[in-house]
Amino acid sequence: MSQKRSHMITQGFERTPHRALLKGTGVPQQQMDKPFIGIASSFTDLIPGHIGMRDLERFIEKGVHSGGGHSFIFGIPGVCDGIAMGHKGMHYSLPTRELIADMVESIAEAHRLDGLVLLTNCDKITPGMLMAAARLDIPCIVVTAGPMLTGTGQEGRKFSFVSDTFEAMAKYKAGVIDEQELMKCEDKACPTAGSCQGLFTANTMAILTETLGMSLVRCGTSLAVSSLKRRIAFASGERIVELVHNNITPRQILTRAAFENAIRVDLALGGSSNTVLHLLAIASEAGVDLPLEEFDRLGRETPQLASMNPGGKHFMEDLDAAGGVPGVLFQLRDRINDNPTLTGPSVMEIVASVAEVDEDVIHPTSDPVRAEGGLAILSGNLAPLGAVVKQSGVSEKMMTFEGRARCFDSEEAAMAALMGGQVVAGDVVVIRYEGPKGGPGMREMLAPTATLMGLGLGDSVALITDGRFSGGTRGPCIGHISPEAAEGGPIALVADGDRICLDIPNRKLELLVGEQEMARRQAAWQMPEAKIKGGWLARYAKVVTSANTGAICTG
């Protein structure tokens, strides 16, 4: 191995002040020549997915020291999207991805750390960590803290966060369930530590992290409360020291082939639409050209092999027991690229090690759940630069739909209309000025989408937005419309009563308004006043790019 980065703060008489400060933290002299390993931990008492990280920090730390390194824990912030949902807090969620990447970069560079273990779990935190790893290109390994167990009820009923809170709220509003049932859902929806139980954004990103080769085998699906997760944490601590000694860095792993594998696994499982934003952003940091259209090309030739909650019946605990990521790779083996991993064995060596897969959960390609993958990229005069739909959560009835526009310039206005009974069958709810710039922050729209389902409108009303959706969203909901309204995109020009045509099989999203009328509206359009004028979000809005490029910051 070439000279360690940490030698810049530990070696030579010129570094006497640096060593004095390190000794002030308790570092013994004999540790000064060992690899300095940062443990970037997003522990917080605020997020169920992160409350168990103090335990995992201990096991990572043990692994680092057993492997011959010296570890330093430092904190990284996290936002719980569920708690931030439906109010000003959600403006901050996606932008924290950029903050997290910047913070990891700052600490690693300022303290000349030789390697990093990135302890993470939830929505924007995992992609932010991966962006930092790709940007720094120093030895890194990711430990995702794992999903929570489902809640249990009578007759084998399983409770989960989205179905039994957001959708239950709407069912209560509609009179489908009573207050006692609503409270039962609230009490049972989140029974343990861990990320929410279905294939929402947090768990999808954990799976894709393992698929990319950036975390150890089984890390992506092993449960937060399992002893296996502890052992993976310990092994990750040992492994990072080996990666430092062998100078194995993320850009050796994060190749175009790795991203194609991640997209295929995402499509096969029907994962969160947010992964499109995140994979594009990570690829940008890794210097890999990954156009949005690649998701659709791979989606047409990659079948959906699992029926995962929220759109299907299985939960993360079922996927883990069925074979986890190696099981999915095994079923996709004829479509998967070989590629190195941080684990040691290559992707195809991991596939070859699979002894058994539960095909009731992870179907073979000869018997798919759907012929195409879970995500589709739409385009048309309403989304010239693309839009994203999680087609795995759309009923066959709504794969094609034409309806009349009901336009709202904020999520709050749309929610008021939904809860007030003002949205009816045949409507297309248009929520705009919620994109990366216009939001700012491209808020998730779980509340309105779950309300649609809870009100029984999932087979008669579509929703389109330049914002984005929770991984828990299901139904005919199209997000990431680009260009966004705040850039003068066509979604800004839609008027109440316009006809909108959705055709998912043919990947079309069209506004049925003539070109001359659209030109007249474009000439009259003016950007509304910014929703947030101060703080760092105002700065974020000035430098963030469109959703079709991953909503990355360029300045």
Q: What DSSP state is assigned to residue 435?
A: S
Q: Phi and psi at residue 23, in whole multiples of 5°?
A: -65, -30
DSSP 484: -
Compute CA distances 395 → 119, 206, 275, whole Å. Answer: 37, 27, 21
User: CA–CA separation, 279 vs 265, rounded Å?
Assistant: 12
Question: Would you call 470 a catalytic residue per the annotation?
Answer: yes
Helix ranges (H only) for 156-200 are 166-173, 179-188
Q: Which two tokens stand for residue 340?
A: 């190195």
The 3-state DSSP class for residue 24 equals helix
Q: Which pair of tokens denotes residue 15?
A: 């570094």
Q: What DSSP designation does 553 have?
A: B
Contacts of 472 (CB under 8 A, 6+ apart): 161, 162, 166, 196, 198, 200, 310, 446, 450
Residue 250, preceding peptide bond in cis (omega within 30° of 0): no
Total residue count of the chain as it appears in this document = 555
Query: What is the rounded distance in angstroms from the CA atom of residue 213 to the CA atom of residue 423?
Result: 45
Nearest to 267 by CA among 326, 308, 210: 308
Q: Is the dihedral of CA 332, 333, 338, 340 positive or negative?
A: positive
Name every residue whose Cβ is closer than 8 Å to that of residue 485 and which is 6 or more positions away in sequence.
432, 433, 434, 435, 438, 466, 491, 492
Which of the following is catalytic: 163, 272, 284, 470? 470
Structure tokens at 369: 């759940």
Peptide bond preceding 326: is omega within 30 degrees of 0, i.e. cis?
no
- Spatial CA neighbour of 110 closest among 88, 136, 129: 136
- Amino acid making up residue 470: S
> Which residues are tagged catalytic?
470
